[in-house]
Amino acid sequence: MPLIDSLNTFRTSIVEANGFIALAFQQDAAGAYILPQNQRDFISDSAFLKLFISWETFLEQSFIQYMLGELSILGNPVVRYVQPIDEQHAHKLLIGTQKYVDWSNPDIVKRLCNLFFAAANPFDTFISSMMTDLFDLKTVRNAAAHLTSTTRQQLDSVGTRKLKRPCFNLKVSDFIFAVDPDSATGETILTSYLNKLDVSAEGIANA
């Protein structure tokens, strides 16, 4: 799949997930939510998981494409240290002796990109620029996938830092739909994160 297709697929997935969220929060003529709270929360959590998986998929696809020598969308080469014979071989090189690549962990992504590509590669540049945000997103992903005392505590910690107020027993939907205190335009936390992911995805694809 060409890089332009990977970028477009990522963006299409974001639009689709946001569409699910919009449906979950539809209101009737009186302004009351059509779906009950538990269903809105379920759809929100599921949509967030889809968003996160879309980011991981984009990272993996673009990594493979650059490993195979594909030029960026702008026609720029990324200097690579490996020359896999095909896509399957590239996957095997990435996995190495592990069972899988944890694309949710930006530290691992940085180690891989600096192992397989020359310095100042687009992955290192853009992953480094949003390390804290990526770890935050992973925390939210974990809470959306399986809310336990541990994941709830981690989500509360992220919420307290991002929302600049004490947070206790925070739900994923409460956090991601809250207004971002650092946004000059009143964006939600989710929108702020998605904007950063989009900038990074475009930067990686354009190199």
Structural domain boundaries of the chain? 3-206
Q: How many residues does the chain have?
A: 207
What is the C-alpha separation between 146 and 205, in angstroms, rounded? 32
What is the C-alpha separation between 131 and 59, in angstroms, rounded? 14
| DSSP letters spanning 90-159 | HHHHHHTTSS---TT-HHHHHHHHHHHB-TT-HHHHHHHHTHHHHHHHHHHHHHHH---HHHHHHHHHHH
DSSP 71: P
List CB contacts of 136: < 8 A, sequence separation 6 or more.
158, 162, 193
Alpha helices in 25-84 (DSSP H): 37-67
What confidence score (pLDDT) does residue 120 get?
86
What is the C-alpha separation between 114 and 125, in angstroms, rounded? 11
Write out the H or E segment, with its range, that includes residue 199.
helix 189-206
Of 69-73, 144-148, 198-202, the one with minimum mean pLDDT is 144-148
Residue pair 39/45 in contact (Cβ under 8 Å)? The answer is no
What confidence score (pLDDT) does residue 1 get?
74
In terms of Cβ atoms closer than 10 Å to its own Cβ (0-12, 13-18, 19+), residue 93 is middle
What confidence score (pLDDT) does residue 32 get?
97
What confidence score (pLDDT) does residue 91 get?
96
What is the C-alpha separation between 132 and 138, in angstroms, rounded? 10
Give residue 97's pLDDT band: very low, low, confident or very high (50, 70, 90): confident
What confidence score (pLDDT) does residue 147 get?
81
Please provide the average confidence, as pLDDT, over all residues in the chain: 96
